[in-house]
């Protein structure tokens, strides 16, 4: 699984034979410049979902339910999830959390909207979790994550993202479930893996890099090289070159100037 936020990034998931294309709410930070995923509205999410759906036909299309669209309970969640499917053209939705969202997971899956779970590090709760920290490091937390995984499976989730938890815990959870787990900072023993596409491509390389991010390309550096080169070439007069413009035969241009001259005369006669 890999994230996509727009048409070109979705096209790349399709070309890359990615199984699941995730319209992650990380787009709030990565694509929109917000300081948290909790800023993202449902309408903003839907706008990005539609662009991704136009770009990726083969991968399964899953999107994060934005913060605030499912926390009040199944009724609100259903309204929002129906919009994700109908307007956003998504095939499934992802919800962060465990026990507290089970009713909602049952309602959505019961009505035919596939739900992907997401446990461990929950970015939509970064405020109450005091930031983005590895979860499940002590016995109590590990137990509660393992129980949440089981409960989500029982409630009908078709898959679960395990974010930033110790690899042995993720391996145990994966082997204890019938549905696939998808890890991000959860080791190699998950059924699948996910990364934010912009992280994997290093589109934005400034700032902190989470431990689980591997750079598979250096797109940001290359893109900046292009923008810098363009600005330099325009200022120096190197761009555009003659062959980057459109010509006009001399005879046509001469006639144009003649015609322009006559126009000038006639407008002078009109004013005199």
Ligand X SMILES: Nc1nc(=O)c2c([nH]1)NC[C@@H]1CN(c3ccc(C(=O)N[C@@H](CCC(=O)O)C(=O)O)cc3)CN21
Ligand Y SMILES: CC(C)C(=O)C(=O)O
Cα separation, 57 vs 144, in Å, equals: 37
Q: What residues numbered 55-84 form the site for Mg ion, per CB under 5 A?
A: 64
Can you tell me which of 25, 153, 163, 199 binds Mg ion, judged by CB under 5 A?
25
**Contact pattern for ligand Y over residues 151 through 190, marking x by CB under 6 A:** ----------x-x--------------------x------
Quick one: which segment of 99-107, 148-156, 208-216, 230-238 binds ligand X (CB under 6 A)? 208-216
Catalytic choice (163, 222, 244, 250): 163
Can you tell me which of 134, 151, 179, 200 binds ligand X, judged by CB under 6 A?
134
CB–CB of 194/180 below 8 Å? no
Q: How far is CA 170 from the centre of its chain?
A: 24
CB–CB of 118/161 below 8 Å? yes
Residue showing tokens 């990005």: 48
Q: How far is the CB of 200 from ligand Y (least distance, A)?
A: 11
- Examine residue 65 and tell whether it contacts ligand Y (CB under 6 A): no
Q: What residues numbered 47-86 form the site for ligand X, per CB under 6 A?
A: none
Q: Please identify, using beta-carbon distances, which residue of 30 and 107 lies nearer to ligand X.
A: 30
Q: How far is the CB of 52 from ligand Y (least distance, A)?
A: 12
Q: Please identify, using beta-carbon distances, which residue of 153 and 163 lies nearer to ligand Y.
A: 163
Q: How far is the CB of 56 from Mg ion (least distance, A)?
A: 18
Using N-to-C axis directions, what is the helix angle for 139-155 and 102-110, rounded to 10°?
Answer: 20
- Examine residue 123 and tell whether it contacts ligand X (CB under 6 A): yes
Q: How far is the CB of 74 from ligand Y (least distance, A)?
A: 21
Identify whether 243 is a catalytic site residue.
Answer: no
- In the complex, residue closest to ligand Y by CB: 24
Q: How far is the CB of 129 from ligand X (least distance, A)?
A: 10
Q: Please identify, using beta-carbon distances, which residue of 86 and 209 lies nearer to ligand X.
A: 209
Binding site for ligand Y (CB under 6 A): 3, 24-26, 64, 161, 163, 184, 194, 196
Binding site for ligand X (CB under 6 A): 26, 29-30, 37, 121, 123, 132-134, 164, 196, 198-199, 208, 210-211
**Which residues are part of the catalytic machinery?**
163
């Amino acid at each position: 699984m890999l994230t996509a936020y727009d048409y070109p990034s979705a096209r790349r998931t399709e070309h890359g034979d990615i199984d699941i294309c995730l319209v992650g709410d990380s787009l709030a930070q990565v694509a929109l410049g917000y300081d948290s995923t909790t800023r993202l509205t449902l309408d903003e999410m839907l706008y990005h979902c539609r662009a991704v759906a136009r770009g990726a036909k083969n991968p399964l299309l899953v999107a994060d339910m934005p913060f605030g669209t499912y926390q009040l309970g199944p009724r609100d969640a259903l309204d929002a999830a129906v919009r994700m499917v109908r307007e956003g053209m998504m095939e499934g939705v992802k919800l962060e959390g465990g026990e507290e969202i089970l009713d909602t997971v049952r309602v959505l899956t019961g009505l035919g909207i596939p739900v992907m779970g997401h446990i461990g590090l929950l970015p939509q709760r970064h405020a109450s979790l005091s930031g983005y920290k590895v979860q499940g490091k002590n016995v109590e937390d590990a137990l509660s994550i393992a129980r949440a995984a089981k409960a989500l499976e029982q409630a009908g989730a078709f898959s679960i993202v395990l974010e930033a938890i110790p690899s042995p815990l993720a391996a145990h959870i994966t082997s204890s479930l019938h549905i696939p787990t998808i890890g991000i900072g959860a080791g190699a023993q998950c059924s699948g893996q996910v990364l934010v596409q912009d992280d994997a491509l290093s589109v934005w390389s400034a700032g902190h890099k989470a431990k689980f991010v591997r750079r598979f390309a250096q797109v940001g550096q290359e893109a900046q090289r292009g923008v810098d080169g363009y600005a330099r070439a325009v200022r120096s007069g190197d761009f555009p070159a003659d062959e980057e413009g459109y010509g006009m035969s001399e005879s046509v241009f001469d006639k144009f100037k003649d015609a322009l001259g006559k126009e000038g005369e006639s407008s002078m006669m009109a004013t005199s």
